[in-house]
Chain A
Amino acid sequence: MQRVLTIAETEFLALVRTKAFIIGILLVPVLMVVFITFMNYAEDHVDTTDRHIAVMDGTNVLYDHLARAAADHNTKAGLGDAKAAPHFLLRKVDLAGRSKEDVTVDLSSQVKDKSLFAFVDLPLDLIDAGEKATYGFYAQTTSARPVTDFVEEAVNEAVAERRFAAAGIDQGLVRRLTARATLTRFGLVERTESGDAVPAREVDDLSRIGVPMFVLVLMFMAVMTGAMHLLNAIIEEKMSKISEVLLGSVTPFQLLAGKLLGVVAVSILLTVVYLVGGIYSLISFGRADLIDPAIIGWFFVFMIAAALMFGAVFLAIGSACSDLKDSQSMVQPAMMLIILAYLASFVVMRAPESALSVGLSFFPTITPFAMMLRLVMPPGPPIWQVAASVALLLAATALVVWAAGRIFRVGLLMQGKPPNLPELLKWIRK
Chain B
Amino acid sequence: MSAIEIRGVSKTFGQHLAVNDVSLQVPEGSIYGFIGPNGSGKTTTIRMIMKIILPDRGDITVLGRRGTAAAHDDVSYLPEERGLYKQMQVRRLLRYYGRLKGKGVKQLEPVIARWLDTLGLAPWADKRIDQLSKGMAQKVQFIAAVVSEPKLLILDEPFSGLDPVNAESLRDAVLDLRRQGTTIVFSTHDMSAAEKLCDRIFMIFKGNKVLDGSLDAIQQQYGHDAVRVRLGGGVQALAGIPGLESVNDHGNFQDVRVPGDPQALLRELVARTTVLQFEITKPSLHDIFIRIARPSADDLRAAGEVA
Contact = CB atoms under 8 A, between A and B. Distances in A.
Contacts of A254: 70
A228 interface: no
Q: Which secondary structure characterizes the binding site on chain B?
A: loop
Given A6-B96, A6-B99, A413-B47, A247 B71 contact: yes
Interface stretch (B19-27, B79-87, B118-126, B285-293): B79-87
Interface string B74-108: 01110111111111100000001101111000000
B65 to A, nearest CB: 15
A248 interface: yes
A40 to B, nearest CB: 40
A245 B144 contact: yes
A89 B101 CA distance: 83
A134 interface: no
A297 to B, nearest CB: 33
A250 B69 CA distance: 10
B193 interface: no
Contacts of A248: 50, 52, 71, 75-77
| Interface-central residue, B47, B52, B53, B84, by most chain A CB under 10 Å | B52
A18 to B, nearest CB: 8
Given A241-B79, A245-B144, A6 B100 contact: yes
A31 to B, nearest CB: 26
Interface string A231-249: 0000001001111111111
Contacts, number: 64
Given A10-B96, A413-B47, A413-B53, A245 B83 contact: yes
A336 to B, nearest CB: 30
A192 interface: no
A243 B53 CA distance: 13
B100 A251 contact: no
Contacts of A250: 70-71, 100
A241 B81 contact: yes
B70 A251 contact: yes
Interface string B162-177: 0000000000000000
A14 interface: yes
Contacts of B81: 240-241
B184 to A, nearest CB: 15
B98 to A, nearest CB: 9
Contacts of A241: 79-83
Contact of B83 (A3, A6, A7, A240): A240
A329 interface: no
A99 interface: no
Contacts of B99: 2-3, 6
B63 to A, nearest CB: 14
A3 B77 CA distance: 17
9 contacts: A6-B99, A240-B81, A240-B84, A242-B83, A242-B84, A242-B85, A247-B52, A248-B71, A250-B70
Given A14-B87, A248-B71, A248-B77, 12 more contacts: A2-B99, A2-B102, A6-B100, A10-B96, A240-B81, A240-B86, A241-B81, A241-B82, A241-B83, A242-B85, A243-B83, A244-B52
